[in-house]
Amino acid sequence: MPELPEVEVVRRGLEQWVAGRTVASVQVHHPRAIRRHLEGADSFVQALTGRTLTAAHRRGKYLWLPVAEPGGAPTGRALVAHLGMSGQLLVEKPSAPDETHLRARFTFTDRGRELRFVDQRTFGGLAVEELGAGDSVPPRLAHIAIDPLDEAFDVDAFSAALRRRRTEVKRALLDQTLIGGVGNIYADEALWRARLHGARPTDKLTRAQVADLLEGVRDVLGEALAQGGTSFDSLYVDVNGQSGYFSRFLAVYGQLDRPCPRCGTPIRRESFMNRSSYSCPVCQPRPRASSASARRP
């Protein structure tokens, strides 16, 4: 699933190519694409046609574009998107052939490039939703914590909340109510940088370890963002269909049996929540206590 860097790359593309443009028409090609818009396809189309998408925002792995009336007055609603496992928001010339898994199309009054929602597995989705007070975050997304690259991120509050969780540190990193946007790939990379095994109990972490972990999270997210994110296949692309290149710089994720870049020990893979965790046996020793499972929520 796309994580913070991949979704932020898409947000930046939407800000460049879509924000400020007025929707001329909306076509819904598959009902699952708007299943979260409970009023149905006609309502979805009517809510956007003739209105302007004013900006592109992100919270965790969600995107939203506030909607304005033709005169510029805010409607108090926004187009909300989640990419799911394989969703893509692509900016294409109107003459470009339709993608095989095209689910929705937005054309604009300037007759320029159109916005297409493409989703092979149909786990992603679009909806028009009410915004919060002051046209801020859609209420459905308010529970998602801000991410560590946000200027408003509270380091002290995060540190205190993390150490209160009484769970495994990797589970905590994947908890979107604690820290937004971090998924399996970047959790493994950040833990390697901080020399922590993912099963380390959060309530046993020192302040220095939490600081190292947060530094690792920020560094790996920032570096991945600079490389356009991590693309393992053609599904993870920006709005222009370009893949990211951070997969070339991964230290542990997906590097089974390859040498650790720090000590040379072969990277190991362990089962974790129906997924895989990758770590270095020397740099990231398993915690000695076997009671970590008792701390899981």
- Closest to 3 (Cα-Cα) out of 174, 154, 152: 174
**Is 2 assigned a catalytic role?**
yes
What is the DSSP track for 33-47? GGTT-TT-HHHHHHH
**Is 32 assigned a catalytic role?**
no
Band of pLDDT at residue 293, cut at 50, 70 and 90: very low
- Of residues 59, 61, 171, 200, which has the active-site annotation? 61
What is the per-residue pLDDT for 289?
A: 60
The answer to whether the annotation marks 57 as part of a ligand binding site is no
**Is 139 assigned a catalytic role?**
no
Distance CA 80, CA 63 (A): 6
The answer to whether the annotation marks 82 as part of a ligand binding site is no
pLDDT digits (tens, 9 = 90+) for 175-230: 999 999 898 999 999 999 999 999 999 999 999 999 999 999 999 999 988 887 77
Band of pLDDT at residue 237, cut at 50, 70 and 90: low
What is the per-residue pLDDT for 236?
A: 57
For the record, the structure tokens of 213 come out as 């972990």
Specify whether the CB–CB gap between 115 and 48 falls below 8 A: no
pTM of the predicted protein model: 0.87
> Measured between alpha carbons, how far apart are the two ends of the chain, in Å?
23
Residues in the chain: 297
The answer to whether the annotation marks 101 as part of a ligand binding site is yes
- Of residues 139, 275, 285, 296, which has the active-site annotation? 275
∠ CA 135-138-140, nearest 5°, is: 160
- Closest to 221 (Cα-Cα) out of 54, 58, 19: 58
**Is 61 assigned a catalytic role?**
yes
Cα radius of gyration rounded to whole Å, the chain: 21
The kind and range of the H/E element at 130 are strand 125-130
**Domains of the chain (ranges plus CATH)?**
4-141 (3.20.190.10), 155-294 (1.10.8.50)
What is the per-residue pLDDT for 52?
A: 98
For the record, the structure tokens of 180 come out as 């937004």
- Of residues 2, 5, 138, 148, which has the active-site annotation? 2
What is the per-residue pLDDT for 245?
A: 60
What is the DSSP track for 183-250? -HHHHHHHHHHHT--TTSBGGG--HHHHHHHHHHHHHHHHHHHHTT---SSTTSB-TTSPBP-GGGG-
Q: What phi-psi label fits residue 137: left (phi over 0), alpha (psi between -120 and 50 degrees) or beta?
A: beta
pLDDT digits (tens, 9 = 90+) for 69-122: 988 999 999 999 999 988 999 999 999 999 999 999 999 999 999 999 999 989
Beta strand 62-68 with 52-53 is antiparallel
